[in-house]
């Protein structure tokens, strides 16, 4: 409840904005990038590693001094090398195991505290495609069976987000995300499970949807925004 109260208070504060900055008509591009790398080297089993990235870019325009809208494009990738199974059927799996791409539209409302600093927030709608691949080993103690599972999913989500900005100069802002919520999401998934090495295949279709009142606050991330010349 405390997180919901704080997040709601922030959104209400943004909606009652005093005007300091003259932003009407300004066009911008925003971006953020996160990269993850990891490795383990245990004594009694082979080493493993992981890698991945998330990249988001947005194009928008201020419709008034306190309201902007635009489009987001996001991509992600995960991969690595891992050791699956036990002594019965050891197996090393490596390569890319996840890919994602998404497009969305956002509406942001701003409160400019002064010429340098302010906060923003508002709704967004997103459509995403994700591909994932995992390898599982099932064992009864005497025999082991290996399954490769591939999933392709398409999802639609409605969300709320809040953030803050700091003006570095006339062209550049430093952005920080503060929190987000995803009240509704729907997803269709096509899953193919293949038994190795004989290639027996099982296909499943799954559709899920739900309402999720949870709020992730605080949720800290950083990015940059560049304003185009008028």
Q: What CATH number is attached to the domain comprising 128?
A: 2.40.160
Question: Mind listing the pLDDT tens digit for each residue in 199-210?
Answer: 788 899 999 999
Spatial distance between the Cα atoms of 131 and 126, rounded to a whole number of angstroms:
17
Selection from 225, 230, 222 nearest residue 34 by Cα: 222
Asked if 130 contacts 106 with a C-beta cutoff of 8 angstroms, the reply is no
pLDDT of residue 144: 72
pLDDT of residue 20: 54
Spatial distance between the Cα atoms of 24 and 22, rounded to a whole number of angstroms:
6
Cα atoms in the 13 Å half-sphere on the side-chain side of 186: 3
What domain range is 88 assigned to?
A: 2-227
* For residue 106, pLDDT beyond 90: yes
Greater confidence (4 vs 217) lies with 217
Determine how many CB atoms are found less than 10 A away from the CB of residue 180.
18
Q: Which neighbouring-strand residues pair with 31?
A: 57, 224
Structure token digits, residue 4 = 């919901």
Question: Mind listing the pLDDT tens digit for each residue in 26-73?
Answer: 999 999 988 999 988 877 777 889 999 999 999 999 999 999 999 999
Number of domains the chain contains = 1
């Amino acid at each position: 409840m405390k997180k919901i109260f704080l997040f709601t208070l922030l959104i209400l504060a943004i909606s009652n904005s005093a005007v300091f900055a003259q932003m009407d008509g300004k066009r911008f591009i925003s971006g953020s990038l996160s990269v993850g790398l990891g490795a383990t080297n245990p004594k009694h089993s082979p080493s493993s590693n992981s890698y991945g990235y998330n990249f988001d870019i947005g194009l928008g325009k201020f419709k008034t001094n306190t309201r902007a809208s635009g489009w987001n494009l996001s991509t992600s990738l995960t991969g690595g090398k891992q050791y699956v199974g036990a002594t019965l059927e050891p197996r090393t799996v490596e390569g890319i195991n996840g890919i994602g791409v998404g497009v969305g539209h956002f509406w942001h409302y701003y409160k400019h505290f002064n010429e340098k600093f302010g906060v923003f927030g508002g709704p967004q709608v997103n459509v995403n495609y994700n591909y994932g691949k995992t390898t599982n080993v099932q064992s009864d103690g005497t025999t082991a069976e290996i399954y490769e599972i591939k999933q392709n999913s398409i999802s639609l989500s409605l969300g709320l987000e809040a953030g803050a900005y700091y003006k570095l100069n006339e062209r550049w802002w430093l952005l920080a995300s503060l929190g987000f919520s995803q009240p509704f999401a729907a997803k269709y998934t096509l899953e193919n499970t293949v038994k190795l090495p004989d290639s027996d295949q099982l296909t499943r279709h799954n559709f899920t949807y739900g309402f999720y009142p949870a709020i992730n606050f605080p949720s800290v991330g950083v990015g940059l925004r560049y304003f185009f010349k008028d």
